[in-house]
């Protein structure tokens, strides 16, 4: 069997792995053994899996693959944050960031190479879109992070306790692969993370939120960024298809099925002179009056492609106070890992743009030309947020 046609076991969720092994004539417990070796111990050499018979290990090596994505580079910040650039099979590169904080470690992962949604404040969107990541490329980011940090079983490195889908791409537009990876994140024989500590953040793909209800119970974050449809339509073009009321309904419906204290997180990137005025805060408080949630305010991190600016500290403080006075729990994201360009809005990817967006809309000072399709530089940060658990980039 050629390598190209062999299934990559790393990305198979427990059900799919069990089904594959049963098809090979093995008992279900084999799947649990393999999950432990791959995801708890970080072993990807079949020969080292000593509690599996030698003939079956040899068969696995002939008929399957165990292949994490390739790490292109690593960048360490003085504050403990780490950014990695990961090569994916399509030829693009994506980024992931580790953010340690008191008692926890959050990994921000990517779900797509580029993004089709083109939010006006997002450099990932400006890069265009290449491809969905496979489930192996998504869970492979967590696998690589644990290897790099030395935090597989028996390792003494810092743990990854939280995962947020806030890297490159819109996770609900790569639904099946993201969900398979989430299954592995939660599975006790794999990563065993709490469902409260895995967060899917969406720009507002309403059908995806509705599908989540049938498929998972992890945390949900919605990227709002504006208190009304007119302004949101400028910042997040997807709003023209799924306006705010529809999005809030879907999020409410999802969260109501999760139980107590599982309200969604609302992310709001504050951009100077665009959506950071006190009247916007009051409008937001009114909009969310009957929508139980926690609000993350994310001061915009500037990058060269757009003219948006970060708000003043006073504007941020005023905005926060109005929301708090309205009874909301509000956090303001602090910038982390600035020196390695891994703060909110500073991630760098290299996307082979299949949409030719870059040719049609070149950056300021950059001629439109085909070589611009392989891009270096950009936000790679879906929603300028590091997650509802309060860690910050």
Interface positions with ligand SF4 (CB under 6 A): 115, 117-119, 122, 124-125, 168-170, 203, 382-383
108 is catalytic: no
322 vs 344, which CB is nearer to ligand SF4?
A: 344
Shortest separation between residue 236's beta carbon and ligand SF4, angstroms: 6
User: Quick count: other Cβ atoms within 10 Å of Cβ 369?
Assistant: 10
108 vs 293, which CB is nearer to ligand SF4?
A: 108
Shortest separation between residue 112's beta carbon and ligand SF4, angstroms: 8
115 vs 337, which CB is nearer to ligand SF4?
A: 115
1 vs 361, which CB is nearer to ligand SF4?
A: 361
Shortest separation between residue 5's beta carbon and ligand SF4, angstroms: 32
Q: How far from 240 is each of 127, 233, 245, CA to CA, in Å?
A: 21, 6, 12
Residues paired with residue 297 on neighbouring β-strands, in sequence order: 268, 332
Q: Which of 81, 108, 293, 344 is catalytic?
A: 344
Shortest separation between residue 69's beta carbon and ligand SF4, angstroms: 19
Question: From start to end of the chain, where are the E strands?
Answer: 70-76, 82-87, 93-101, 104-108, 112-114, 129-132, 162-165, 198-202, 219-223, 265-270, 294-299, 329-332
Question: From start to end of 30-165, where are the E strands?
Answer: 70-76, 82-87, 93-101, 104-108, 112-114, 129-132, 162-165
Shortest separation between residue 386's beta carbon and ligand SF4, angstroms: 14
Task: Give dist(CA 16, CA 43) in Å, integer.
Answer: 19
119 is catalytic: no
118 vs 187, which CB is nearer to ligand SF4?
A: 118
CA 323 from chain center: how many Å?
26
Q: Which of 95, 137, 267, 305 is catalytic?
A: 95
Q: Which long-range contacts (CB under 8 A, 24 or more apart) does 16-23 make?
A: 16/180, 20/64
Residues labelled as active-site residues: 95, 344
């Amino acid at each position: 069997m050629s390598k190209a046609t062999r299934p990559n076991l790393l990305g198979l969720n427990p059900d799919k792995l069990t089904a594959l092994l049963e098809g090979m004539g093995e008992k279900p417990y084999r799947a649990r053994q393999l999950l432990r070796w791959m995801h708890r111990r970080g072993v990807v050499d079949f020969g080292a899996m000593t509690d599996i018979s030698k003939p079956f290990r040899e068969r696995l090596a002939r008929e399957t693959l165990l292949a994490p994505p390739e790490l292109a580079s690593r960048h360490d910040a003085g504050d403990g944050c780490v950014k990695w650039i990961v090569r994916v099979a399509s030829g693009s590169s994506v980024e992931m960031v580790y953010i340690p904080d008191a008692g926890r470690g959050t990994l921000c992962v990517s779900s797509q190479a580029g993004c089709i949604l083109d939010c006006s404040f997002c450099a990932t969107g400006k890069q265009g879109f290449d491809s969905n990541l496979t489930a192996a490329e998504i869970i492979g980011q967590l696998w690589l992070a644990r290897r790099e940090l030395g935090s597989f079983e028996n390792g003494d490195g810092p743990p990854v306790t939280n995962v947020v889908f806030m890297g490159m791409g819109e996770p609900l537009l790569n639904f099946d692969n993201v969900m398979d990876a989430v299954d592995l994140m939660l599975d006790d024989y794999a990563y065993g993370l709490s469902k409260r500590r895995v967060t899917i953040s969406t720009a507002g793909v309403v059908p995806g939120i509705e599908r989540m209800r049938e498929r998972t119970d992890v945390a949900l974050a919605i990227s709002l960024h504006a208190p009304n449809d007119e302004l949101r339509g400028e910042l997040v073009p997807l709003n023209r298809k799924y306006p705010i009321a529809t999005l809030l309904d879907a999020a409410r419906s999802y969260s109501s099925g999760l139980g107590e204290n599982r309200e969604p997180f609302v992310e709001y990137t504050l951009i100077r002179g665009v959506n950071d005025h006190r009247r916007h805060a009051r409008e937001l408080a009114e909009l969310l009056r009957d929508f139980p949630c926690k609000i993350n305010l994310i001061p915009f991190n500037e990058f060269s492609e757009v003219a948006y600016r970060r708000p003043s500290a006073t504007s941020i403080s005023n905005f926060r106070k109005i929301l708090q006075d309205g009874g909301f729990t509000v956090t303001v994201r602090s910038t982390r890992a600035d020196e390695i360009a891994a703060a909110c809005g500073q991630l760098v990817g290299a996307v082979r743009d299949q949409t030719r967006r870059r040719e049609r809309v070149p950056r300021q000072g950059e001629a439109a030309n085909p070589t611009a399709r392989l891009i270096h530089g950009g936000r790679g940060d879906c929603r300028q947020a590091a997650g509802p658990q309060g860690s910050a980039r």
